[in-house]
Amino acid sequence: MGLHVFQPVDLDEILEGAFRFGGDSWALLTAGNEEKANTMTVSWGGITHVWDKTCAIVYVRESRYTKEFIDAQKKFSLSFLHHDQYKGVKKYLGSVSGRDEDKIKNAKLNLNFDDGIPFIDEADNIILCKVLYKQLMKEENFVNGRLIADYYAKGDYHYYYIAEIKKVMIR
Ligand SMILES: Cc1cc2nc3c(=O)[nH]c(=O)nc-3n(C[C@H](O)[C@H](O)[C@H](O)COP(=O)(O)O)c2cc1C
């Protein structure tokens, strides 16, 4: 009986798929209602399993306008658009705040709704979520203090939201 031989695997390979976050991949996090909604680019997050449910986890800094809509509705969507075709949209929605501009209109995107949750109609893949848990990251909880210097020199810590996936839609 020989020992198993293990091969190292490139991290990118285990993270492939339509609902991939991170690296070059991104999604639009949209929240609000029929009257008013906002969207922002996110690339941190993923699909996770907790409390016997399949959930999405996203990381949203305190300062994001979109956060106000998530907290008000306790629901949000993740819309995955064609990465190359919507490169400009990714940049625009990830750098301008909805406090200053009507981003969805300016990006020439259309909102659609499912069970009251807004999502981006131009997306290929959509995840609709209901928030179960949110928590603000705290300085004293960082095991690796370098991360504070690297990511929170100006404060504005991330909240993370664990949200039950209620529905997944594919074009
Ligand atoms: C590629 C990319 C990924 C981003 N990922 C995140 C993220 O995961 N979390 C976050 O809080 N901000 C992220 N941002 C920044 C927000 O999208 C950006 O601050 C946006 O303008 C917030 O808009 P709002 O104020 O209208 O909510 C990202 C930006 C880009 C360009």
Look at residue 88 and tell me whether its pLDDT is greater than 80.
yes
Q: 24 or 135: which carries more pLDDT confidence?
A: 135
Q: How high does pLDDT run on average in the chain?
A: 95
Query: pLDDT digit string (tens) for 107-124?
Result: 999 999 999 999 999 999
Ligand 1 centroid distance, CA of 127 (Å): 18
Q: Can you list the pairs that 60-64 forms with residues at least 24 positions away whose Cβ atoms lie under 8 Å? A: 60/29, 60/158, 60/159, 60/160, 60/161, 61/156, 61/157, 61/158, 61/159, 62/136, 62/156, 62/157, 62/158, 62/159, 63/156, 64/40, 64/97
Residue to mutate, 25, 41, 91, ligand 1, most ligand atoms under 8 Å from C-beta? 41
Pocket test for ligand 1, best of 21, 25, 40 (most atoms within 8 A of CB): 40
pLDDT at 1 over 70: no
Q: How far apart are CA 146 and CA 161, in angstroms?
A: 23
**What per-residue confidence (pLDDT) applies to 3?**
85
The neighbouring-strand residues paired with 68 are: none
pLDDT in tens, 25-75: 999 999 999 999 999 999 999 999 999 999 999 999 999 999 999 999 999
65-76 per-position pLDDT tens digit: 999 999 999 999
- Whether the full predicted model's pTM is greater than 0.75, yes or no, is yes
Q: Which two tokens stand for residue 43?
A: 């690339």
Ligand 1 pocket member 137 (CB < 6 A): no
Protein residue with least CA distance to atom 30, ligand 1: 94
Determine if ligand 1 sits within 6 Å of the CB of residue 43.
Answer: yes
At residue 57, the pLDDT reads: 96
Arithmetic mean of pLDDT, 75-82: 97
Q: Domains in the chain, please, with CATH?
A: 25-170 (2.30.110.10)
Q: Whose CA is nearest to atom 6 of ligand 1?
A: 42
CB 61 near ligand 1, within 6 Å: yes
User: In the structure, what pLDDT confidence band is assigned to residue 18 with cuts at 50, 70 and 90?
Assistant: confident
Phi/psi of residue 79, nearest 5 degrees: -110, 125
Of 102, 104, 130, nearest to 116 (Cα)? 130
